[in-house]
């Protein structure tokens, strides 16, 4: 909360007139004002805002799954947008959106083109490693816009670094790389981070690299965040615990005593870090909905789940909503020096997600949940499913006023339609082995003699 007198004078508001309203104030900001407490002298308000002036925003990797809706939304908000990517002509975009064609791995070679565009904000959607983050920082130094600050020759653009919730220790517990007890939930921006630099098992990393060309061998979003934080003027943390959360991460090392401070970084860069969830929707390269949609399309009479997987909860976000969160953070000066989780408010279990898809598709079959040892090999998913990934996105909602622009039911409908229209090139996915699933079902008739089988229709 902030004192309204610093930004807006609200007159003659009585206790009975508590409400949420919208208005313009100060001539430079537009936002929504929610009165949260009233005294005889001071009105406290929570203000979530975006810059009213047109901003110049460079998006690195803006040609992909999240980049396309992000470009569209920022363009619709009348900001000047440029996309840095390597595939000229690959994506249809508004004519007024500029392009810088280049290789992310050689970002420094394009400093001149970036300087010519003079961004106020640089959004990097494809940061993989600490080294890449350091290259980004060196590239944007001195490449600012003079808009809004005529006393300076140059204003350094703010960096919006796209991170992931795989930075949390809970991810390491799930993958078996972090020893010790389960992490308490929900995961907040202050939750402990991984100590290990290897985010995923080798096989999983190779799978991700085959899908996402920007992921390199040194993939580690903790190192990305550490590099960005070190280069920032000030990174504001809610507590000493949050400020010191990088201390245990072996690369790069923290300066002596830095972990004890609630102000992190002194490198002259303004930055925002966004930790994204599992993103779904049209264009999802990981095809998160495909296994359930395909089975329903193929009129499977029953769909199997192991008990652990069926109950597992993780953060998700529909692609257009995630893009909206990124756009909001990029255009909100209040987001500078902050870290935000981005996720839907409710973390459904895998079985609950499957049921939502099935209901939408009108499927009349049944879900059968079995112990792991009775599940066929094609459905044996590795991981410690006792460690859920339920995450809180309260901070971005409270500070910036974020809310989803597409409701969950509509997001599911759009994703199902896209999955039906665009089957993957490789239809023989490893999770689809109907013969093995039929064999498992044949061995487990649902009766009182088989108490381990749960028929969930």
- Which homologous superfamily does the CATH classification assign to the domain defined by 56-440? NAD(P)-binding Rossmann-like Domain (3.40.50.720)
Residues 6+ apart with CB under 8 A from 46: 1, 2, 33, 34, 36, 398, 401
- Per-residue pLDDT tens digits for 293-314: 999 999 999 999 999 999 999 9
* C-alpha neighbours within 13 Å on the C-beta side of residue 175: 19
The pLDDT of residue 166 is 94
Query: With bands split at pLDDT 50, 70 and 90, how would you rate the model's confidence at 36?
Result: very low
CB atoms within 10 A of CB 248: 15
Largest CA distance in the chain: 81
Question: Strand 56-60 and strand 80-85: pairing?
Answer: parallel
Rounded to 5°, the CA angle 76-77-81 comes to: 80
**What are 103-160's pLDDT values in tens digits?**
988 999 999 999 999 999 999 999 999 999 999 999 988 675 555 444 443 568 999 9
Kindly report the pTM of this predicted structure: 0.82
pLDDT of amino acid 91: 62
What is the rounded (10 degree) CA torsion for 23, 29, 31, 36?
A: -90
Q: Cα–Cα distance between 317 and 385 in angstroms, integer? A: 20
Is 391:315 a contact under the CB 8 Å cutoff?
Answer: yes
Q: Check if the beta carbon of residue 127 is closer than 8 Å to that of residue 134.
A: no
pLDDT tens digit sequence for 266-281: 567 899 999 999 999 9
Cβ atoms within 10 Å of 162's Cβ, excluding its own: 24
Domain parsing of the chain, residue ranges: 2-51, 56-440
Taking the CB of residue 180, how many other CB atoms lie within 10 A of it? 10
């Amino acid at each position: 909360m902030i004192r309204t007198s610093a930004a807006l004078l609200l007159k003659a508001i009585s206790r009975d007139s508590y409400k949420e309203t919208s208005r313009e104030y100060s001539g430079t900001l537009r936002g929504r004002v929610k009165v949260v407490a009233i005294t005889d002298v001071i009105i406290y308000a929570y203000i979530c805002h975006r810059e009213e002036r047109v901003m110049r925003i460079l998006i690195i990797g803006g040609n992909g799954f999240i980049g396309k809706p992000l470009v569209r939304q920022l363009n619709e908000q009348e900001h000047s947008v440029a996309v840095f990517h390597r595939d000229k002509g690959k994506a249809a975009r508004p004519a007024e959106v500029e392009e810088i064609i280049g290789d992310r791995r050689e970002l420094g070679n394009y400093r001149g083109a970036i300087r010519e565009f003079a961004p106020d904000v640089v959004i990097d959607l494809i940061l993989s490693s600490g080294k890449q983050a350091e290259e980004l920082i060196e590239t944007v130094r001195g490449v600012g816009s003079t808009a809004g600050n005529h006393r300076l020759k140059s204003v350094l653009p703010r960096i919006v670094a796209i991170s992931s919730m795989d930075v949390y220790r809970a991810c390491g517990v799930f993958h078996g790389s972090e020893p010790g007890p389960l992490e308490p939930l929900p995961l907040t921006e202050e939750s402990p981070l991984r100590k290990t630099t290897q985010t995923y098992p080798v096989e999983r990393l190779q799978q991700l690299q085959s899908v996402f060309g920007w992921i390199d061998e040194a993939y580690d979003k903790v190192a990305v965040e550490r590099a960005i934080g070190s280069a920032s003027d000030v990174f504001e943390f809610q507590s000493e615990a949050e400020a010191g959360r990088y201390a245990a991460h072996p690369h790069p090392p923290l300066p002596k005593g830095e972990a004890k401070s609630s102000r992190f970084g002194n490198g002259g860069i303004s930055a925002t870090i966004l930790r994204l969830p599992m993103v779904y929707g049209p264009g999802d390269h990981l095809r998160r909905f495909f296994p359930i949609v395909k089975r329903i399309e193929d009129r499977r009479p029953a769909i199997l789940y192991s008990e652990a997987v069926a109950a597992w909860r993780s953060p998700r976000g529909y692609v257009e909503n995630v893009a909206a969160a990124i756009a909001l953070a990029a255009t909100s000066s209040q987001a500078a020096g902050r870290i935000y989780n981005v996720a839907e408010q409710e973390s459904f279990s895998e079985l609950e997600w499957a049921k939502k898809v099935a209901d939408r598709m009108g499927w009349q079959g049944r879900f059968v949940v079995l112990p792991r040892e009775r599940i066929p090999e094609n459905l044996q998913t590795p991981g410690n499913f006792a460690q859920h990934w339920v995450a809180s996105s309260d901070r971005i909602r409270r500070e910036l006023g974020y809310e989803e622009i597409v409701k969950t039911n509509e997001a599911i409908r759009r994703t199902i339609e896209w999955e039906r229209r665009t089957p993957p090139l490789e239809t023989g996915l490893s999770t689809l082995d109907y013969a093995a699933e039929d064999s498992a079902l044949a061995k487990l008739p649902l009766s009182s003699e088989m108490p381990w089988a749960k028929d969930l229709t």
